[in-house]
Structure 1
């Protein structure tokens, strides 16, 4: 099959949309299918990463943000009609069997303009705030229900809803068993801080500053992970040097599953990486960084898999309280069990089978 992805990354929208599409594209390629990405050249884009991964890439030039009736319309850098006009030729030339759309600023109008005859459409979404003309729709968020989309998609559309469908790399499910066994260890030593590939507002630096004022267990050490395009990487690296505990700062790494599996606790963002941590049973202090993350994060906290950290309130008090509570091994083990029940990491394989079976 030929598959076209329409997806962007930027400083405003982060890297998660492209990363989950790359996960699906790699799984498709392993089965012999060919993938093309169409991505706009926003500040903070991941077009070089897409190209380095060996996928076809058609780059759309920077445009002017347009306001329309969609809440995230300004993330597109053009109107939907302009974006569709620029995307039609590369889509038609690829002769796709599937068009994958992962963009909050695109809806049924764009899909109707660009989808060739005989091509199926997969929409990846998190918001349930607009209509689509699609054959498959995936929303991997906890707390989302099929009824949230029933009136927004055609009757024939298959809905894949919930974190059991999360698009995770195979590495996560492969490490799941050993990671869950590791949760039986008692000491709180390795803490992973990963607040998104971009972290545009430097929440990572704020967390490190707050931790400097906390009393933490002896022998604790931190690993900070940022994306290669993170604008505050140098500032975070400098802040890490002044911390009273060992802090390793990494960027653009490709072994995140191993880093998560080795962590006793994570300080992480809500969003797609939540399901990676759940698959591995990693207890999490979850920082909500965007409005659209609130419902999923609240559901995770209610499940017992995470403790919420409100970035708008005093971080020192919240972090100190959380570390005091989670220093005890039984509480972390309870969180690990709750997290592991949320997803088994097989969502990518399930989606791949559905796409192949509907040829």
Structure 2
């Protein structure tokens, strides 16, 4: 049995849960069961819907040191020997104490300190800026670095886009599990007033913690070209159907890369900044900005980006090729192999 220690809720959304589920599914395909240890029941239904069990620690998701004793007791009780930990709220003490009892794996994209674990994963395109090789040079820690280890679901493995359409007919909008700034709703408000977009379908994916769901449903009811999705079973099918995407930062950007879907990206959290700016600097995606700094400006940049990509099939082709060259979708399987070999 492989255990995951991860959380998801209205504050931190579901990104950590989703990437751990991808790894868990890859591990399960290799014949090993997985269980998720969570601080509360917010993500329970999502995890169990994918066929995995949960254990509720009844702890504080944003103060992990308070759970050290309780988690250590659980490790002894369940005879846990391997655990994948995915939280921005780990501390050096937390990881050191937990790693005394298990083979530990940590998923990182911030490099806040030298992590006392057995296996460290950073699958981002910008991992090199953290100088992991020199930082862990004399330590017996296995490093899995770069986009070969992006933990995507099996549906994204070696998926191929046959062609870039001359005309844009379908646009995907996905703004994270909670969409704190109501970016999807406000963007659609602006677009629905423009006649030029009346023949384009807008496919909006809403996360389970989206507090603006009723507004999105109203937009769908009032506009024949707006379609709202929740709990979508195969995100890759929808991505492959679309010609352009608007997306928040996070693992979804790597899913879009695997699908070769030209994307306008934006950020709304600190942990997304490095990723979206790296994609901007490498000209892999069009970057609309940080919603926390000027959300109105971000909306306008999205509209400008949509207009640019609608008018320029060659630019869409260039983005698409760069994206598929970066991500092949096999990262979860590679991680599963390494975890099982620990």
Normalising by structure 1, what TM-score? 0.87
SS for the counterpart of 2:202 is: strand
Aligned-partner Cα distance in 2 for 1:356–1:319: 42
Aligned-partner Cα distance in 1 for 2:62–2:305: 40
1:137 paired residue number: 120
Among 43, 47, 51, the residue aligned to 2:44: 47
Aligned-partner Cα distance in 1 for 2:214–2:316: 32
Query: Are the equivalent residues in 2 in contact too, given 1:166–1:345 (CA < 8 A)?
Result: yes
1:189 aligns with 2:172: no
Aligned-partner Cα distance in 1 for 2:302–2:255: 22
Larger relative contact order, structure 1 or 2 (CA cutoff 8 Å, min sep 6): 2
- Residues 187 and 206 (structure 1 numbering): CA distance in 2 closer, same or farther, change over 3 Å? same
SS for the counterpart of 2:96 is: helix
> How many positions carry a matched residue from both structures?
336
SS for the counterpart of 1:200 is: coil
1:236 aligns with 2:216: yes
Aligned-partner Cα distance in 2 for 1:56–1:115: 22
Query: Are the equivalent residues in 2 in contact too, given 1:213–1:316 (CA < 8 A)?
Result: no
2:68 paired residue number: 84
Aligned-partner Cα distance in 2 for 1:346–1:157: 22
Aligned-partner Cα distance in 2 for 1:153–1:168: 28
2:331 paired residue number: 347
CA-to-aligned-CA distance 1:148-171 (integer Å, 9 cap, x gap) = 434379711122222221000110
Offset of residue 241 of structure 1: 3.3
Among 218, 229, 252, the residue aligned to 2:231: 252
5 Å-filtered alignment, 1:115-154, equals 115=99, 117=101, 119-145=102-128, 147-149=130-132, 150-151=134-135
Report the RMSD for the aligned CA atoms in angstroms.
2.1
1:305 aligns with 2:289: no
| More moved, 90-99 vs 344-353 | 90-99
1:98 paired residue number: 82
- Residues 240 and 152 (structure 1 numbering): CA distance in 2 closer, same or farther, change over 3 Å? farther
Offset of residue 234 of structure 1: 1.2
- Residues 229 and 218 (structure 1 numbering): CA distance in 2 closer, same or farther, change over 3 Å? closer
Offset of residue 230 of structure 1: 2.0
Aligned-partner Cα distance in 2 for 1:188–1:203: 21
- Residues 218 and 207 (structure 1 numbering): CA distance in 2 closer, same or farther, change over 3 Å? closer
1:201 aligns with 2:188: no
Aligned-partner Cα distance in 2 for 1:27–1:154: 31
2:55 paired residue number: 58
| More moved, 297-306 vs 107-116 | 107-116
Offset of residue 101 of structure 1: 0.6
2:315 paired residue number: 331
Aligned-partner Cα distance in 1 for 2:184–2:198: 22
Unaligned ranges ≥5, structure 1: 64-75
Among 265, 283, 290, the residue aligned to 2:262: 283
CA-to-aligned-CA distance 1:283-332 (integer Å, 9 cap, x gap) = 00112111221111011122222111123143554233222321221111
